[in-house]
Chains A and B, each alone.
Chain A
Amino acid sequence: MEHELPVWHLFGLIVNSDTVLTSWAVMALILIVGAVAARRIQQVPSSRQSLVEIVVDLAQGLVRDQIGPQTARYIGFIGSLFLFILLSNWLAILPWKILVIFGARDVLPPTSDVNTPAALALITVGSYFYYGISKKGLSYFKHYLQPVWVFLPLNILEDFSRPLALTFRLFGNVTAEHLVVGVLSLLVPLLIPLPMMALGLLTGAIQAYVFALLAASYIGGAVRDSH
């Protein structure tokens, strides 16, 4: 964990190059898969198309349950959050440790760098402010006084605790998974870490789903009419 991370120096900032490269890889993968799957859309989906439609259905169900029947406005954001986190988490499950034999380093998922979850959480907070204000105008801020004005400090505090909880939930889960696999493969490199890696597939998917669910429910809370 405490090995030297490779960094780039860009414009006086220190950038963790592993995180940047792996996030770019994930984004490229999503773009390519999306472009290939959406090239010839048919009424009766091919196997390629139905694989992608599962994800779209999932995101659509999430948005419909949490926000409302008009899904088109929000599904892009929620769906991209889900896909990006899912593929970032699963990126670490591939047996990159083989690369170590050839002198390369282990590949860490971008979500196990605390900056990535923090950025995603801040985007989420910004998005529910944006959606709320663009839907209701300045009367969006009235919800801070609900149910009574005494709740004002608590409601303001919520805007800070939400990104903190989102960040640590994602970061902690991915890091914990990676640490457990790392410790196990340090002790017994053969076969024993496999069940933990299988559990990692499940954890990665659940955490991506939970993040998207929470983002959708925050947006839903900001957009819904409260009477």
Chain B
Amino acid sequence: MATELMVAASVIGASLAVGLAAIGPGLGQGMAAGKALEGLARQPEAEGKLRGMLILSLAFLETLTIYGLVVALVLIFANPLLK
């Protein structure tokens, strides 16, 4: 019984981990992309530089969601509590 409860809790926890971890970075990436577009509209000749910086900052923001994904993967595939 305790094991089934643990499995159910882990699955719910894993889905919540990814879902909740996507909220903040989603907002942040939207802001970053919007600001980059504003900058691009104001100064179209800076496109190359802007694109590089934007992709780099998006990669950093993406990482936060990936942390949630790592937690979810640990909960599902390598749960230390289910040994």
List A residues at the B interface (Cβ < 8 Å).
Answer: 1-2, 165, 168-169, 171-173, 175-176, 206-207, 209-210, 213
Smallest beta-carbon distance B18→chain A, Å: 10
Smallest beta-carbon distance A162→chain B, Å: 13
Smallest beta-carbon distance A114→chain B, Å: 9
Residues of B within 8 A of A172 (CB): 63, 66-67, 69-70, 73
Most chain A beta-carbon contacts within 10 A, residue among B56, B66, B69, B77: B66
Which A residue sits closest to B68, measured CB to CB?
A172
- Cα of A173 to Cα of B65 in the assembled complex, Å: 10
Residue contact B66 to A206, C-beta cutoff 8 Å: no
Residues of B within 8 A of A209 (CB): 56
Tally chain B residues at the interface, Cβ within 8 Å.
12
Q: C-beta contact mask, B31-49 vs A, less than 8 Å → 1, else 0? A: 0000000000000000000
Residue contact B55 to A206, C-beta cutoff 8 Å: yes
Which of B56, B69, B70, B77 has a CB less than 8 Å from the CB of A206? B56
Residues of B within 8 A of A171 (CB): 70
Residue contact B66 to A173, C-beta cutoff 8 Å: yes
Residue contact B77 to A1, C-beta cutoff 8 Å: yes
Residue contact B56 to A210, C-beta cutoff 8 Å: yes
Residue contact A176 to B59, C-beta cutoff 8 Å: no
- Cα of A176 to Cα of B68 in the assembled complex, Å: 11
Residue contact A168 to B70, C-beta cutoff 8 Å: yes
Contacts A169-B63, A213-B56 aside, 6 further interface pairs with beta carbons under 8 A come to A165-B63, A168-B66, A172-B63, A172-B73, A175-B69, A206-B56
Smallest beta-carbon distance A118→chain B, Å: 12
